[in-house]
Amino acid sequence: MAETSQALAQALALWPYHQYTALWQVAVHNRDAQEALTRLEQMLETLEQPWQLGDTVLYRRMAPQAKEFQPGELRALLLGQLEQDPDLSWLREHPRAQALLQRIHP
């Protein structure tokens, strides 16, 4: 299912972030720390890349009414979830997660 979600995001020229969200959720569900952190890092990387809603066929007509893309808000949400969500305590303890959080909050 996650791979189908990734392929659909690519086929519809959606924001690259969407290619990783289902894979992230599966990795978290399976408690696969390496995979979850890889997907989280990919999601965070896509936030650094500009993306315009109006550039996609699917959302072109929505673009004039849509809120301007705010990557900082989503970045804060993702990292806040990693830092505070009790369901992610197992992941937060992983050395790679600790290193990621340390880079954010030196």
pLDDT at 68: 62
pLDDT at 58: 61
How high does pLDDT run on average in the chain?
A: 80
DSSP codes, the chain:
-HHHHHHHHHHTT--TTHHHHHHHHHHHHTT-HHHHHHHHHHHHHHTTS---GGGSTTTTTTTTTSPPP-HHHHHHHHHHHHHH-GGGHHHHTSHHHHHHHHHH--
pLDDT of 48-87, one tens digit each? Answer: 876 666 666 666 565 555 556 667 788 888 999 999 999 9
The whole-model pTM stands at 0.73
Query: What confidence tier does 12 reach under pLDDT thresholds 50, 70, 90?
Result: low
The structural domains of the chain, with segments of one domain joined by +, span 2-104
